[in-house]
Amino acid sequence: NYPVYCASITSDGLIIASNESSVSIYPEVLSEALDRVLTSDKDSGRLSDLRIMYARVQTANGYNVAFLDTAAIDANMEASIVGALGRLVLGLAVLLCIAIGCARYVTRPVADAWRQQQRFVADASHELKTPLTVILASTDIMQQHPEKTVGEQANWLASIEDEGKRMKKLVEELLAAARAGEREDGAAVAPPDQAVDRVDM
């Protein structure tokens, strides 16, 4: 319950009776409120700047006036609004965290697959580099001795053949990994015989 100031006032603005002693309204605020209420063309309303609601009833001798100090009401309302906004912000923050967590959970398999693919490509590149180096070195040595027969350079030819087979195996593994990735993505996959033909070529 909020205290209400009540007063009986003559038409000349003289206060006949009031309960001012039991209501905490500053005298200067009360005086201004009375002046504005007595000259108002409305019998009830709100004086927002003074934080006062009023009601006025005309009597034979003047008016009966009631004032309600809304400072406490306004403070409670403001506190409620601030609390509601705080809860709203907290709720939005929680939802944002949940959304971020869900997004990370959903995209984690994709990120893991991407990292595995990058690691596989790096390993495959490293593995292919060795046989290529051997093949190029063997070819260079053979070119430096064109006078030698094929039989005399059989060891270099065997080395080239071994490394070529090793490269073929690595390329087949790469194609198999690519086909597996396409199956996961739902894309069209080339028939295995076509892939082998391309390798043999």
Who has greater pLDDT, 8 or 22?
Answer: 8
Give the pLDDT score at 21: 67
CA contacts within 13 A on the Cβ side of 37:
33
Least confident of 10-24, 118-132, 142-156: 10-24
Q: Would you say residue 37 has pLDDT above 80?
A: yes
Give the pLDDT score at 155: 85
Q: Would you say residue 193 has pLDDT above 70?
A: no
Number of H helices, E strands in the chain: 4, 5
DSSP 59-123: -SSEEEEEEEE-HHHHHHHHHHHHHHHHHHHHHHHHHHHHHHHHHHHHHHHHHHHHHHHHHHHHH
Cα(159)–Cα(87) distance, integer angstroms: 74
5 burial via Cβ count (<10 Å: 0-12, 13-18, 19+) = buried
pLDDT in tens, 81-119: 999 999 999 999 999 999 998 988 888 888 887 888 788
Give the pLDDT score at 95: 93
Identify the CA nearest to 57 among candidates 45, 70, 43: 43
pLDDT in tens, 149-192: 878 888 888 888 888 888 888 888 877 777 776 666 554 444 44
Whether the pTM exceeds 0.75: the reply is no
pLDDT in tens, 40-90: 888 888 888 888 889 999 888 888 999 888 877 888 888 999 999 999 999
